[in-house]
Structure 1
Amino acid sequence: METSDTQRPAAANPWSILLLLAIALLISFIDRTSLSSALADKNFLREFGLTSVERGWLNSAFFWTYGLFQLVMGWIVDRYGVKWPYAVCFALWCAATALTGIVTTLGALIAMRLVIGAAEAIVIPASYRWMGDNFQESQKGLAVGLFTMGGKFGPAIGAPVAAWMIVNHSWQAMFILTGVVGLLWLAPWLLMLKSDLPSRAQMAAAKKRASSVTLGGLLASPVVWGGMINNFCYGYFTFYCMTWMPAYLVEQRGLSLENSGLYTFFSFAGIAIVATIAGWVADRMISRGGDAVKVRKGFVIAGFIGGTTVLLGAYAESLTMALFWNVLSLSLLGFVTANNTTLCKLTLIPKPAIGLNTGLQQVATSLAGGVSASLSGWLLHVGGNYELPMLAIFGFLVLGAVNSLVLLQRKWAPKVNDTPLDQPQADAHPLPRT
């Protein structure tokens, strides 16, 4: 929601709310990835008599609704604010996670995954809607970098924690506890965040502003397409690492499952740390007069190029060098993380359209998850090793770098009421001009 400066319920300390958003993102990744640990548990498989095809249904069910509901959630937060829609969806996905530990049929399992996917679809649109309203351009890179750490540490922490709970208790207890404990987050969220639920007059004004940027208007912008392509290319690599990196390290590099998890953790910790530092450095450059678009594009292109070093790991003869390039390539991709998100979801996007655009961008991210997992498996089958899957990653990363250079230009940004993006709005700071 966008109001005048005097009406806007800006956070007294936006960094504390940002911490809550990052923790919520971490919880969402723990809840969405907990199923992977359960699917490795013999008791879980025996309980439901799952075939390989049915395991595939379960793994993909989350992405069906997660992708479909991105635009819906973006539309909601653009018109009705962040606090209450997020609270309702958070409670819903935690409840569905807990209920997963109680259900007894495959259909009910799939239903719970569909509910979790639909409810978690609010996380990204709502978070960037809130950050767009509460951080200045010179703060957004660091803010996005800190926020995305939740998404990177979520998979790193969630898998071993879920596995430990299954081994020491049961898969039922794992789902119930992760769902119930997650609900504790709601207390500080409801207490600390000021309500941004609009009045009738504000809602009418917000609807009018939001409707000035339609879905068709967004899709007519090369910047929006450039953001979707970048999100796909970035997501292709990161989802590959979430789904296939442990198998690569075990099957082709001979590591134990325990050690493969350790190096997976290092890779995701690396991208999280680099993303935060790169976002902060870009912010400092912009605050000293650098052009926001050019600065962030430079980091994005450098990150895509740096990530292509994953191919050096594929052809490395020694285990040490393979592990080095494996960790380094994903870590260097961190130059893309915060700056691409800030550029494509905040800097180049009018405030009334942040939620809708973010939902649209997340559709591309969700598509990347499905394509990366399936295409990598087919290429592994065809080639007999992981060189072809990594060549595909290389190709998508190069595409991301070229796409950033060509399509992410201020002149092609979406318009609000036919007003260029870099012309000051009533409550927005103008972007730096060259």
Structure 2
Amino acid sequence: MASSPQTPAGTATGAVGDAEPGASALPPLSTTALWFVLLLLATGVLISYVDRTSMSSAIAAESFKTHFGLTDLDKGWLNSAFFWSYGLVQIPMGYVVDRYGVKWPYAICFALWSVATALTGMMDALAGLIMMRFIIGAAEAIAIPASFRWVRDNFGDRHSGTAAGILAAGNKFGPAIGAPVAIWLINMHSWRIMFIATGIVGLIWLIPWLALTRNDFPKIEARAAKKRAASSVPMRNILVSPVVWGAMISNFCYGYFTFFCMQWMPDYLHNERGLSLESSGVYTFFSFAGIAIVAIIAGWAADRIIARGGDPVTTRKCFVVAGFVGACTVLLGVQTESLEMALFWNVFSLSSLGLATANNLALCRITLIPKPAVGLATGVQQVATSLAGGVAGALTGWLLHISNNNYDLPMMMIGVFLVIGALSTWVLMRRKWAPKVDVI
């Protein structure tokens, strides 16, 4: 098979994505339906992040730590357990949504992780907690590949930054809302009630998803064409692409910082800076609300620049690098003795990373990825993201262990990864190095 001349995935200019070779065409959605389903997807991502980050609030609570007798190493493994299974099945989940659509695979996995989240509240042994986190991680692996598969099917590049920003807002408002709500539930009721309640919320989300989302599961006669289209960008083309490797590096570096904040920020603010659990939840909210708001604005701003003739790759790269550089101000927070300035730099640094959020997603999962391979390429990139979550949890726990619970070393590690992320984006994210489409 020969490779066709490289055509970046982001050449579409309309509100509806370009046609996928060999795939059966569904009628275009109305503008209202288009944005409604996107908001529903963003809400689903929000719920998934509430479920995955609820553990960080639990391990900051004395009642939870005492019940299970947790050490710093135990907390690190609990924080990271989710991400090992999450990363393991990212690629299979991307394969599934490229071939079988989004609605039903997503619904099945959503139900599974919601039930497992509720069951976490019924565990009495550390091994049971870890098992539930493995199940939640495996089921949640579908969320991002499915979301970006749907966006690529329905949005062109002029709107992909805004769409990616709205999805990204979901995964940032998840911990922003989840942390204070989880802490409130723990304080008012118990950690058991917190897990059960968050699991039930996920099951409620399934009602509008099943009732209102269009069924995109291909019929028998269309399945072969869908498979041929997805096979036009085989795994080998993805794995030899410098763009994919650059995206994996930048996603790992981006994810390391954000997952550190999800997993360890409540503990850092409570134990290192002396804030109450309630106050730490509030500042965690402001940090993640900040990155969510900046992500939407930055994605929209890049879309406007592109719509006026700006190069999509260069435009988005500039935003991504600026976000990584701005996030390095987290190092100023750990060096100051002032509690107020420490809190300011924590919020400012994570909010600054919002400049990179939507544009990084649009760049490495839409603009530079051929349409037939969006789910699979996203799954490959999500392996790096999930690895970041696992490493952030376990490595931070180990660094705290060897430094007598001092956060200087963990913060320095964040700075190193942020610099690497900026460099990999600028050097490797080039149109000529995008995955190539085979002529079948």
Normalising by structure 2, we get a TM-score of: 0.88
Q: Which moved more, 1:100-109 or 1:156-165?
A: 100-109
Name the structure 2 match of 1:161.
Answer: 181
Aligned to 1:80: 100
Q: Distance in 2 between matches of 1:186 and 1:54?
A: 33
2:116 to 88, 96, 100: 96
CA deviations over 1:313-353 (Å, ceiling 9, x no partner): 23334333332222111111101000001000111000111
Q: 1:129 aligns with which of 120, 135, 149?
A: 149
SS of the residue corresponding to residue 438 of structure 2 reads coil
Query: What are the equivalent positions in structure 2 for 1:7-46 lying under 5 Å apart?
Result: 7-12=25-30, 13-41=33-61, 44=64
- Which among 176, 180, 185 is matched to residue 200 of structure 2? 180
Name which of structure 1's ranges 42-51 and 403-412 shifts more when overlaid on structure 2: 42-51
Q: Deviations over 1:259-316 (max 9, x none)?
A: 3322222111111111110000000111111111111011111111111122222333
- Which amino acid in structure 1 is aligned with residue 323 of structure 2? G
Shift of 1:111: 2.7
Matched, 1:64 2:84: yes
1:282 aligns with 2:297: no
Cα distance, 1:104 vs structure 2: 4.7
Q: CA deviation at 1:206?
A: 1.3
The corresponding residue for 1:409 is: 430
Contact 1:3 1:202 in 2 (8 A): no
Query: What amino acid is aligned across from residue 11 of structure 1 in structure 2?
Result: L
1:248 matched to 2:289: no
On the 8 A contact 1:316/1:322 being kept in 2, the answer is yes
Aligned match of 1:397: 418
Closer, same or farther in 2 for the Cα pair 1:6/1:45, shift >3 Å? closer
What aligned pairs does 1:34-433 form with structure 2 within 5 A after superposition? 34-41=54-61, 44=64, 55-382=75-402, 385-417=406-438
8 A Cα contact 2:73 2:394, kept in partner:
no
Cα shift readout 1:157-184 (whole Å, capped 9, x = no counterpart): 2122223223333333332222223211
Check conservation: 2:50, 2:177, Cα contact below 8 A: yes
Residue 109 of structure 1 and its aligned partner are, at CA, apart by: 3.3
| Greater mean alpha carbon deviation, residues 51-60 or residues 369-378 | 51-60
Give the whole-Å Cα distance in 1 for the aligned partners of 2:103 and 2:284: 34
Question: Aligned residues: percent identity?
Answer: 63
- Residue type of the alignment partner of 1:372: A
> 110-119 or 11-20: which moved more?
110-119
**Is the 1:303–1:333 Cα contact (8 Å) retained in structure 2?**
yes
**363-372 or 350-359: bigger deviation:** 363-372
Deviations 1:48-85 (A, max 9, x none): 56666555543332112111111110000000000110
Amino acid at match of 2:42: A
Cα separation, 1, equivalents of 2:51 and 2:172: 14
**Contact 1:91-1:183 within 8 A present in 2 as well:** yes
Q: CA deviation at 1:418?
A: 5.2
- Mean Cα deviation higher: 319-328 or 76-85: 319-328
Code of the aligned partner of 2:411? M
Question: Which digits, 9 at most, give the CA deviation of each residue in 1:91-116, with x for residues without a partner?
Answer: 11112222233445544433322221
1:19, distance to aligned residue in structure 2 (A): 0.6
- Counterpart residue identity of residue 351, structure 1: K
User: Does 396-405 or 241-250 show the bigger shift?
Assistant: 241-250
Cα deviation digits, residues 225-255 of structure 1 (max 9, x gap): 0000000110111112223333433444443
- Alpha carbons of 1:92 and 1:158: their partners in 2 closer, same or farther (altered >3 Å)? same
Range 336-345 or range 232-241, more displaced: 232-241
Structure 1 Cα separation of the partners of residues 386 and 172 of structure 2: 16
Query: Given that residues 330 and 411 in structure 2 are in contact (C-alpha distance below 8 angstroms), is that contact kept between their aligned partners in structure 1?
Result: yes
Instruction: Report the CA distance between 1:41 and its aligned residue.
Output: 4.8
Compared CA separation, residues 387 and 222, structure 1 to 2 (3 A): same
Letter of the 2:407 partner, please give it.
Answer: Y
Matches of 1:262 and 1:46, distance apart in 2: 24
Query: How far has the Cα of 1:28 moved from its partner?
Result: 0.8
Report the Cα distance in structure 1 between the residues aligned to 2:386 and 2:359, rounded to whole angstroms.
Answer: 20
Q: Once superposed, what is the RMSD of the aligned Cα atoms?
A: 2.4
Deviations 1:1-51 (A, max 9, x none): 946798225432211001101111111111122233334455555665666
Question: CA 1:254/1:51 → structure 2, altered by over 3 Å: closer, same or farther?
Answer: closer
- Structure 1 residues without counterparts, runs of 5 or longer: 420-434
Instruction: Say which SS state the counterpart of residue 195 (structure 1) adopts.
Output: coil
CA distance in 1, matches of 2:316, 2:305: 10
* Kept in 1: contact 2:73–2:401 (CA 8 A): no
Superposition deviation, residue 196 in structure 1: 0.7
C-alpha deviations, 1:382-421, integer Å up to 9, x for none?
55643332222222111111111110000000011259xx
Tell me the amino acid that sits aligned with residue 418 of structure 2. L
SS of residue paired to 2:218 = coil
Give 1:184's aligned amino acid.
Answer: I
Instruction: Evaluate the alpha carbon distance shift between residue 310 and residue 99 of structure 1 in structure 2; reply closer, same or farther with a 3 A threshold.
Output: closer
> What is the alpha-carbon distance in structure 2 between the residues aligned to residue 260 and residue 160 of structure 1?
8
Paired amino acid for 1:370: G
> Structure 1 residues 398, 45: closer, same or farther in 2, change over 3 A?
closer
TM-score, normalization: structure 1? 0.89
**Corresponding residue pairs, total:** 419
